[in-house]
Amino acid sequence: MTTYLEVDRSTVTVVLLNRPEKHNALNQQMIDELVSTLRDLQNDREVKVVILGANGRNFCAGGDLEEFYAAHVASPEENYRAVDPGMSLFQLAFQLSKPLVVASKGVCRGGGVGLAGLGHINITETKTSFALTELRLGLFPYGIFPLLAKNMGERRALELALTSREFDSTMAQQFGLVDEVVDDSLERARELAAEISKASLYSLQSGLELYNLSMSRYDQGFFKHAGVLRAVSFKTSELGERVDLFLRRNRS
């Protein structure tokens, strides 16, 4: 069976998105694998720190538009059943009990911007390009908005969502989305993770438990409502037209 992750498990475990031919676009299988892997690593007492990076030139181009179109033509019941699985990945930003260091690079679009900000420490490279492009497709960044608000504040996250404007790595650091801008994000992530791993497992987990409690306004009910809004968006005629146009252009 095809897997969309490459995992090197150790005290500092490295998880790499592994769909480079699709610019690591998030399809449901990759989301399910990420959620399952990250949750499993939380329960592994041999693991102290997790790094999330990507194979290929680009970190993540956002959601898979083929699946977006499939959701558009699916029944409302099918889309509603997908609400919780669709939101589960970004909920992890408020649930993880072990430090996560994210190393992004290249292109980060839509949900890829959310992934770039998923970590407790977020590292990116000098030439990384970011944009929240959901509104161009008739969506809103429902699932990642609370995560971006956590990093950048609600007003900045809203402005970037409404304008869909591109911003570079320097601006991402100024906005608070990333903590450091370097030439090699994965190498720097390994350095930081090695330092963090010197701490005791209990101190790391208890500290993150306290941190997660401080973020508790973004609870399961919040994500459930965001997921329902997202599911309704997939049924709009505007989304269908825009995604269909985008896919036809790419196939021609």
**pLDDT above 90: residue 21:** yes
**Span between the terminal Cα atoms of the chain, in Å:** 30
Q: What pairing do the DSSP bridges indicate for beta strands 12-17 and 5-8?
A: antiparallel
Query: 65-73 vs 237-251: helix axis angle to the nearest 10?
Result: 140
Tell me what the mean pLDDT of segment 61-79 comes to. Answer: 81
Residue closest to 229 by CA, chosen among 79, 89, 95: 79
Structure confidence at residue 72 as a pLDDT band (50, 70, 90): confident
Specify burial of residue 197 (Cβ count, 10 A radius: 0-12, 13-18, 19+).
Answer: middle
Distance in angstroms (rounded) separating the CA atoms of residues 120 and 180: 12
Lowest mean pLDDT among 49-53, 62-66, 80-84, 162-166: 80-84
Residue for token pair 């499993």: 40
Look at residue 219 and tell me whether its pLDDT is greater than 80. no
Tell me: pLDDT of 204 over 80.
yes
**Per-residue DSSP letter, 158:** H
Poorest-confidence range of 81-85, 127-131, 181-185, 225-229? 81-85
pLDDT band at residue 145, thresholds of 50, 70 and 90? very high
> Stretch 26-53: mean pLDDT, rounded?
96
Question: CATH number for the 5-184 domain, one of 3.90.226.10, 2.40.50.100, 3.30.1490.20, 3.20.20.60?
Answer: 3.90.226.10
pLDDT at 116 over 80: yes
Look up the pTM and report it. 0.88
Average pLDDT of the residues in 165-188: 98
Average pLDDT, the chain: 91
C-alpha distances in Å from residue 23, one per residue of 52, 122, 128, 205 = 15, 19, 13, 33
Share of the chain above pLDDT 70, in %: 98
Helical segments of 123-219, H only = 145-152, 154-163, 169-175, 185-196, 201-214
Say if CB 78 and CB 41 are below 8 A apart.
no
What H or E segment, with its residue span, contains residue 107? strand 107-109
Instruction: Look at 80 and 196; give whichever has higher pLDDT.
Output: 196
pLDDT for residue 73 is more than 90: no
Q: What local confidence, expressed as pLDDT, does residue 156 receive? A: 97
Tokens 């069976």: give the residue. Answer: 1
What pLDDT shows up at residue 70? Answer: 79
Q: Is 217 exposed, middle or buried (0-12, 13-18, 19+ CB in 10 A)?
A: exposed
Task: Please check the confidence at residue 63 and state whether its pLDDT lies above 80.
Answer: yes
pLDDT of residue 178 exceeding 90, the answer is yes
Confidence of residue 113 (pLDDT cuts 50, 70, 90): very high
Report the pLDDT value the prediction gives residue 134, as an integer from 0 to 100: 93
pLDDT of residue 175: 98
Residue 243 pLDDT level (bands cut at 50, 70, 90): confident
